[in-house]
Amino acid sequence: MFQPLRVAPSILSADFMNLSADIELVERAGAGFVHVDVMDGHFVPNLTMGVPVVKQLKRCARIPLDVHLMVSNPLEQLPWFIEAGSDILTVHAEALDEGELVEAVDLIRSAGARACVSLKPNTPASALAPVIDRLDMALVMSVEPGFSGQSYIEGSENKVARIVEQARGAGNEGLLIEVDGGISVSTVERVAAAGADVMVCGNAFFKAADPAGELKRICDLGNAARRAAQEA
């Protein structure tokens, strides 16, 4: 059955003085998730938001919180973000060794949240191998993590296609693949055709004159590309 794409607007590009209004904008536009970029100034150069903000977001968001942890010590921080109400928790493979990656995924899932592992642009899809059989979602970074508004790195869609095959090989047909960085009307079709299910959009959504209209355009283009690829 055809599964339509989901869009996850990244509140890193929102108006921090009016976050609740921007969450409402995201929900009214028909987004699937609210994407929350947590950066610690160490794993990535930028420093953004943390547990107190996630707690507050949880009080007003009616759609799932998709929390992307760009931190050096995810195992220490996970329990706080779980308690804060994260629905999906993403850790970076580069911040953990293989055993720790398994531990992180199992910790998230045993707490009843959905587990996602993210790969930076230079990290191969094979880094997901230790957890591919039990992951809920994989996040392909299509820019170097740290800042919104960067350009999509050409060829990132190839990693999406490799993960689709890897998941199939591991019997994890339900794995969602999310793409993050530089996604817009210009880039959504190639990642959707490669098999991506969730599009993170920062600037493309929040800096648009008509964010809801833009989200619909992104979905329509992506869904058409996805349908054509599935029928091919």
Contacts of 70 (CB under 8 A, 6+ apart): 37, 38, 39, 40, 43, 44, 92, 145, 146
SS3 content of the chain, % helix, strand, coil (to 5): 45, 20, 35
CB of 149 to ligand DX5, least distance (A): 5
Q: Using CB distances below 5 to 8 A depending on partner kind, what does residue 204 bind out of ligand DX5, Zn ion, none?
A: ligand DX5
Q: Is 201 in the site for ligand DX5 (CB under 6 A)?
A: yes
Regarding 68 and contact with Zn ion (CB under 5 A), the answer is yes
Does residue 148 belong to the site contacting ligand DX5 (CB under 6 A)? yes
Within 10 Å of residue 35's Cβ, how many Cβ atoms?
29
The answer to whether 89 touches 69, Cβ cutoff 8 Å, is yes
Q: Is 197 a catalytic residue?
A: no
In the complex with ligand DX5, which residue's Cβ is closer, 121 or 165?
121
Name, in order, each residue with C-beta under 8 angstroms of 191's C-beta and a sequence gap of 6 or more: 140, 142, 156, 157, 160, 179, 183, 199, 222
Q: 197 is in the binding site of which of Zn ion, ligand DX5, none (Cβ under 5 to 8 A by kind)?
A: none
Work out which of 12, 91, 175, 176 binds ligand DX5, going by CB under 6 A. 12
Q: How far apart are CA 2 and CA 59, in angstroms?
A: 32
Per-residue x/- track, 48-87, ligand DX5 (CB under 6 A): --------------------x-------------------
Q: Which residue lies nearer to ligand DX5 by CB, 157 or 180?
A: 180
Helix (H) or strand (E) holding 98: helix 98-110
- Would you mind telling me the total number of residues written for the chain in this entry? 232
Per CB under 5 A, which region of 19-27, 62-70, 126-134, 207-215 contacts Zn ion?
Answer: 62-70
Mapped onto helix, strand or coil, the DSSP state of residue 93 is helix
Catalytic residue among 37, 40, 66, 197: 37
Contacts with ligand DX5, residue ranges (CB under 6 A): 10, 12-13, 35, 37, 68, 143, 145-146, 148-150, 180-183, 200-204
Which residues are annotated as catalytic? 37, 180
